[in-house]
Amino acid sequence: MDCKEGTVTITRQINQLLEQIHPRAYSMPLGLFNESTLGQHFRHIFDFYDCLLRGVSEGVVDYASRMRNEQMEKDPGYARSAFHQLAQACQELQESQPLNVRADFS
């Protein structure tokens, strides 16, 4: 399995989970997650893929510049649509393209 196939598989699994989560549960703070919500965790996953897609055309992926879309955190239907679009966009990427990566680990 290559990176693109892996991404499609992951996003398919995420969408299957999102179909099963009630909107109220999606945005409910959970003690297990240090009072974060499922929506915040799905948004966090999406943010990293989004940084990749936004940076690939310039050859620089800046993970410190995540957009943090709040609608993604609150609306599982919106998140499903966004992950579906993400999977389609990732299929267009060239796996052999060199990239520089910026990140802030502080």
This prediction's pTM: 0.86
The pLDDT, as a whole number, for residue 95 is 81
In 3-state terms the chain splits into helix, strand, coil percentages (rounded to 5) of 60, 10, 30
DSSP characters over 67-78: ---HHHHH-HHH
Structure tokens at 62: 């800046």
**Hey, where are the domains in the chain?**
3-95
Give Cβ neighbours of residue 44 (< 8 Å, ≥ 6 apart).
none
Residue with tokens 């915040």: 40
Residue type, 70: E
The pLDDT, as a whole number, for residue 3 is 82
Show the low-confidence residues of the chain (pLDDT under 70): 106
pLDDT digits (tens, 9 = 90+) for 49-73: 999 899 988 899 988 888 888 999 9
